[in-house]
Amino acid sequence: MAWTRVRDEALRERALQVIPGGMYGHMSTARLPADYPQFFHRARGCRIWDVDDNEYVDFMCAFGPNLLGYQDPAVQAAIAAQQALGDTMNGPSEVMVELAERFVAQVSHAQWAMFCKNGTDATTMAMVIARAHTRRRVILVAHDAYHGADPWCVPLSRTAGTVPEDRAHVAYYAYNDPQSLEDLMRRHKGDVAAVFATPYRHDVFSDQQALNADYAHAARRLCDETGAVLIVDDIRAGFRLARDCSWSLLGIAPDLSCWGKCFANGQPISAVLGSEPLREAARTIFVTGSFWFSAVPMAAGVETLRQIAQTDYLERLEAAGRSLREGLAERARAHGFALRQTGPAQMPQILFDDDPDFRVGYAWTAECLKNGAFFHPYHNMFLSAAHGPQDIALALDAADRAFETVRRVRGTLGPVPQLAPVIEYLARK
């Protein structure tokens, strides 16, 4: 069936009337190639269908939440069973205790769990717990690391409507640079409440960077020396690098970790996990939300954590990522392109050499899209356990046709207008 976007266009027109700018947040297509669909109709396994019924092998996984496959049968069964009993009630269901117990059993640093809805809820809660525990103020975060969209952490390029006091005690260090972190620690000596760290560097519009072990060990040591709280923000990468907290791969236990996106396979729930010394501070803060205690996402979480513990989901999504990476590298070379495929294969970032304003990458992902593979031109992508060899083969065929087309038209490509503010921001840095 020919690729079309008739319904999507009509919906965009309607959305423009009733949603500011037509859409907002990370799922707005405003900065994507013009052909990307804004609206989706259904999803199953590793496939998605947009509202024009175009089918794609999906490498975004809803920006992470799809870990086991959309509509994973066992997770859907857990959802249906809980829904038939109750979801948002006057208090939690017993499934909340089971979910917390599973986290404590499966994540080695965790002695307790608190659940919320957004990733931002989890990072904000971790910040508040760290301040309550230390009775200090300063929060150290890496430049450009994404920790959510509350005024204290909204990306510095997108601060409309915030005030300087929102981040009065937030200070910035260079990710992966132990000296930068140590210098910043010293500058705020005696007042550092917490150090935030992502599992590895996964900033948008950039090559991903593996975690520097020296930096990670320095972060743990500096927190131990000063009493600051080490917080690993595993919201984006959690359970795609390990069945435990991502820094467990280096043998490092954070004091708090933040989780979200995928641990209920797409159901809305996030979490803060903590070690024993943080428990008392966590008990004293006030946090809540209308739907934080709803049972259905927790039931989905229990089943997802069960599969995380008991199945080879991780090996499957790693294998799918590796075969995608190898196949793309080979096809790119054959067409004369030099790809930079960075980050873990299960969370790939794909950028092109000699493409400073992303015009080649934009053209390529747009062509892949029309050929049935949904890649992202500037955000890291995600594999799921439902990506099988046939799906990867289809995606590689789409990629191959896209390389072929872009090779022909490369000389005619102009700058991407919707990226102008981004290019300007990146140049200023």
Q: Does 415 bind a second copy (CB under 8 A)?
A: no
Amino acid identity, position 130: A
Nearer to a second copy, 218 or 237 (CB): 237
Per-residue x/- marks for a second copy, 178-217, CB under 8 A? ----------------------------------------
Q: Does 45 bind a second copy (CB under 8 A)?
A: no
Nearer to a second copy, 41 or 243 (CB): 41
Q: Please report how close the Cβ of residue 402 comes to a second copy at its closest, in angstroms.
A: 18
Longest distance between any two alpha carbons in the chain, whole Å:
64
Q: Which stretch binds a second copy (CB under 8 A): 212-220, 266-274, 340-348, 389-397?
A: 266-274
CA distance 92 to 153: 29
Q: Does 88 bind a second copy (CB under 8 A)?
A: yes
Amino acid identity, position 416: V
Contacts with a second copy: how many residues (CB under 8 A)?
113
Interface with a second copy in residues 370-399 (CB under 8 A): 374
Residues in the chain: 429
The DSSP secondary-structure symbol of 211 reads P
- Binder to a second copy among 34, 77, 81, 89 (CB under 8 A)? 89
**Helix, strand, or coil (residue 400):** helix
Nearer to a second copy, 260 or 361 (CB): 260
> How many C-beta atoms lie closer than 10 Å to residue 171's C-beta?
15
Nearest to 51 by CA among 39, 62, 43, 61: 39
Nearer to a second copy, 247 or 374 (CB): 374
Q: Does 158 bind a second copy (CB under 8 A)?
A: yes
Interface with a second copy in residues 25-44 (CB under 8 A): 25-27, 29, 37-44
- Binder to a second copy among 4, 9, 14, 309 (CB under 8 A)? 14
CA distance 187 to 180: 11
Give kind and range of the element (H or E) at residue 78.
helix 73-85
CA distance 123 to 194: 11
Interface with a second copy in residues 218-247 (CB under 8 A): 235
Nearer to a second copy, 24 or 179 (CB): 24
- Binder to a second copy among 5, 46, 48, 321 (CB under 8 A)? 48
- Binder to a second copy among 81, 143, 183, 284 (CB under 8 A)? 284
Q: Does 285 bind a second copy (CB under 8 A)?
A: yes
Q: Please report how close the Cβ of residue 338 comes to a second copy at its closest, in angstroms.
A: 28
Nearer to a second copy, 272 or 332 (CB): 272
- Binder to a second copy among 270, 304, 323, 346 (CB under 8 A)? 270
- Binder to a second copy among 154, 245, 339, 368 (CB under 8 A)? 154
Q: What are phi and psi of 171, to 5 degrees?
A: -125, 155
162 close to 136: Cβ distance less than 8 angstroms:
no
39 close to 11: Cβ distance less than 8 angstroms:
yes
Q: Starting from the edge strand earliest in sequence, which strands make up the sheet with 138-142, in order?
A: 112-116, 270-274, 256-259, 229-233, 192-197, 138-142, 170-173
Q: What are phi and psi of 69, to 5 degrees?
A: 115, 135
Interface with a second copy in residues 309-368 (CB under 8 A): none
CA distance 48 to 56: 5
Per-residue x/- marks for a second copy, 60-79, CB under 8 A? x-xxxxx---xx----x--x
Extract the tokens encoding 381: 């992508």
* R_g (Cα) of the chain, nearest Å: 22
Q: Please report how close the Cβ of residue 266 comes to a second copy at its closest, in angstroms.
A: 4
Nearer to a second copy, 176 or 275 (CB): 275
CA distance readout (Å), 283 to 91, 106, 116 = 18, 22, 15
Q: Does 155 bind a second copy (CB under 8 A)?
A: yes
Nearer to a second copy, 63 or 172 (CB): 63
Q: Does 408 bind a second copy (CB under 8 A)?
A: no
Q: Please report how close the Cβ of residue 324 comes to a second copy at its closest, in angstroms.
A: 17
* CA-based torsion, 291, 156, 136, 201: positive or negative: positive
Nearest to 234 by CA among 263, 205, 194, 275: 263
Q: Please report how close the Cβ of residue 400 comes to a second copy at its closest, in angstroms.
A: 23
Amino acid identity, position 116: C
Q: Does 3 bind a second copy (CB under 8 A)?
A: no
